[in-house]
Amino acid sequence: MNPPEAIHKRFFIPDIAYLLCELVNSDADIRLRTLARLARTCRIFRDPALNFLWSEQDGLVHLIKCFPSDLWTVSGSTYLILRAITVADWPNFLGYSQRIKTLVMGSRHEYVSAEAYRALSTAASTTSQVLFPNLTELRWFTFPFPSIEMYLGPSLSTFCFGPSDTILDLLLLVQSLTTIAIRYPSLKSFTFFYPLRSDSRHIETLTTAICSWNQLRTLRVGNHLGEEGFRHIAKLSHLEDLCFTWPSSNGTLPRPQVDHRWFPALNTLDMACHSLDSCIDMIQLMHASNVSTLKMSVIENTTGKQHATSMPFTTTTRWNRLFQMLEDCCVHVTLSFISFESRDIFSRIDPAVTIESIRHIFVFRHLNHVRIETGGGCDIDDVNMKELAEAWPCLTFLSLQPGTQFGAELQPRLTLASLVILATNCPNLQFLSLAIDARSVSVAQPESGDARIKHTKRLELAFRNPSPINNTDGVASFLATLFPEAVVVGTSLLGGDSWRSVASKVKIINKLSVERAGVFHL
């Protein structure tokens, strides 16, 4: 065995010191306290510990505190600059600002005044200081937008801008987009959720900026993506994560050019549109895509004229076509997350999605998250649930909206027997949201050969309207036996006291079971 002195010297190897600090940084409970102690321990730990401590900052408050005490003060929750910033004031500020990799603005409860921002910007430009030379990610949320120049270091690759409260902030931001586009032609990630309303100049500026970036890997924008911008991003060979809204005023999605594969690297798609047809078009454009996460929402149709006059069977056919297009166009082994949602008020008269449509996506055997919240919901029975559970054994999340017919809720055809089916076939299930007919507990009991079926994962159960129930004691006992780690949630939305009573009883039964198990082990 090596002597203690030799073992101790190993900690003076910089790479080992870095790995130790990285390990500490991964534990949120001890991160700040332990890294601060390591930074004060010795020189070998000082730099890696400080780098992790300062790598992500929420606002400039901590940096303001690095200035001499006579330079700043705090009034309430707002930090103020009391005098002009001189060259002698910078060393501590710059010593820590160079360690920041991610800067998040606007989510703290402590604020830096607009005058302080102007003082910082003026002083930085006067002395030609690069305040954040190693900053790679800048995120801005609901905050006055000062000059962006002092944040633009040479290493920036990610910009994220959230909603603004004032038109003035928006104007300043849009003007800054041109600067960002010119200075960062190799930008990797861009998020822009400021409301541009219908100002064509702003949208044109944003589109021009997007079209100048050819190395994008992540793009998340609102309804500011016109046909030109869409055609540009569709050809990007590195784009992996895309979130956008396709405005109804833009019409149908552009069609691909001959012999050109669109969205070749797309892995995650989050799309909102005003028509189910746009969703179908998008899936068709992603032919042979390796997408693993797919979210699609049909949002409020402000005109609603065409949808309201459509015959119900037309919508059913479109859902069937959407799921069939998924089967035909997406690689079966990669898709693991799907979410379909319809928030169009006119979709409430749609008929329910049936098992015939859902069967098209049974080919995606690795699905672990399935959410179908369509206008007409899903109308399936226990036999259909058995098909579903056997097709998707990896499920951890399942949420199916109850079926409707011309706006009226259908009586659920799923019974408590479906829960036995899911417990048997989907052992990793952690969240389940269904409408269940719980009036007959006897039909749900496992067969003799399955008497030991028990789901051991923590499971959140969210039963939905309408979920009729008679015997609360029997249902609670059944749920606690089948799901020893179950928690019944969302009972306030069901109305009445029956399901609230079930939630309380399941909690009590499971607690008693844990206590008995503890006594047994003693």
Q: Which of 140, 156, 172 is the last residue of a domain?
A: 156
Q: Work out the pLDDT band at 18, boundaries 50, 70, 90.
A: confident
The whole-chain average pLDDT of the chain stands at: 83
* Residue 521 vs residues 514, 515, 516, 517, 518: alpha-carbon distances, Å: 11, 10, 9, 6, 5
Radius of gyration in angstroms for the set of CA atoms belonging to the chain, rounded to a whole number: 28
**Which candidate, 422, 424, 513, 425, places its Cα nearest to that of 461?**
422
Kind and range of the H or E run holding 478: helix 472-482
- 31 with 132, same domain? no
Same domain, 486 and 426: yes
Which of 8-22, 35-49, 465-479 has the lowest average pLDDT?
Answer: 8-22
Average pLDDT, stretch 445-462?
67
pLDDT tens digits for range 152-193? 888 899 998 876 555 556 667 777 788 888 889 889 999 987
| Share of residues in the chain with pLDDT > 90 (%) | 42
- Predicted local confidence at residue 375, as pLDDT: 73
Give dist(CA 126, CA 128) in Å, integer. 6
User: Is 90 within a domain?
Assistant: yes
Nearest CA among 57, 131, 134, 133 for reference residue 89: 131
Taking 60 as the threshold, does the pLDDT of residue 364 lie above it? Answer: yes
The yes-or-no verdict on residue 116 having pLDDT over 50 is: yes
Are 22 and 120 in a shared domain? no
Share of the chain above pLDDT 70, in %: 80
Which one of 110, 126, 156 terminates a domain?
A: 156
Alpha-carbon span 470 to 336, nearest angstrom: 37
Per the omega criterion (within 30 degrees of 0), is the bond before 484 cis? Answer: no
In this prediction, residue 309 carries a pLDDT of 37
**41 lies in the same domain as 86:** no
Spatial separation of the C-alpha atoms in residues 453 and 481, rounded to whole Å: 9
Stretch 389-408: mean pLDDT, rounded? Answer: 84
Q: Is residue 288 part of a domain?
A: no
Residue 389 falls inside a structural domain = no
**With contact defined as beta carbons under 8 Å apart, do 108 and 59 qualify?**
yes
Same-domain pairing of 521 and 415: yes
- Residue 45 shares a structural domain with residue 59: no
Confidence band, pLDDT 50/70/90 cuts, at residue 304: very low
Q: Where are the strands (E) in 377-440, listed by range?
A: 397-400, 404-405, 408-409, 431-434
Flag whether 193 is in a domain. Answer: no
Q: What is the pLDDT of residue 193?
A: 79
Alpha carbon 444 to chain centroid distance?
A: 36
User: In the prediction, which pLDDT does 249 show?
Assistant: 60
pTM exceeds 0.75 for this model = yes
Q: Is residue 514 part of a domain?
A: yes
At 516 the pLDDT is: 64
Q: Is the residue at 423 inside a domain?
A: yes
Task: Kindly give the pairing relationship between strand 369-373 and strand 337-342.
Answer: parallel
Tell me how many domains the chain contains. 3
Mean pLDDT over 106-132 rounds to 81
For residue 4, pLDDT beyond 70: no
> Rounded to whole angstroms, how far apart are CA atoms 470 and 303?
43
Q: Which domain holds residue 103?
A: 55-156
59 shares a domain with 48: no
Strand-by-strand arrangement of the 72-75 sheet: 72-75, 78-81, 111-112
DSSP 8-class letter at 242: E
Among 156, 182, 205, identify where a domain stops. 156
- Do residues 139 and 67 share a domain? yes
Q: Are residues 41 and 102 part of one domain?
A: no
